[in-house]
Amino acid sequence: MVPRIGDQVMVSCEPAAARVVGTGRYIELEWPWRTIDDSSGFRWNGRVMIPCDDSLQEWSPFRLEPAAATLRAGDVCAVSIPPTRLYVGDYEEYHPPRNFGWAPAPTAGLYVVPPERMDLDMEFAGYMLYLGGSDPIRVEPIKD
């Protein structure tokens, strides 16, 4: 399936344990699915920051358990995407896989937007998910 802008998709990701590195407006996690690619010219530090304040412009489909407000550096939490109906805001394939400094490198990027944010500036309305690497993200088309 090659998603098109405007398509509706069901996105999910099974939970994995992640260590909290920092808290504030964002929760910084040691990302559980990727490894640092030392052969890359890009220096990824093994971490991902997820917005955790509902008042922020940014949004992420990832959810934390326990809730972000209760987490502190050093805690371990579960990070996942519960099955969520989203719109495709953009889709791009990477030939060869895109070098971001982690392995395995993703083969596609899918920018997803929740229905309630479709009227916002698209730059901040959604979230880019990287597919075809190690993040176990599942994307299924919705046919209504």
What is the average per-residue pLDDT within 105-119? 89
**Distance between CA atoms of residues 144 and 142, nearest Å:** 6
Contacts of 48 (CB under 8 A, 6+ apart): 28, 29, 31
What does pTM read for this prediction?
Answer: 0.91
Q: List 35's β-bridge partners, or say none.
A: 103
Give the type of residue at 124: F
Percent of the chain at pLDDT above 90?
Answer: 78
pLDDT band for 55, please (50, 70, 90 cuts): low
Kind and range of the H or E run holding 123: helix 122-125
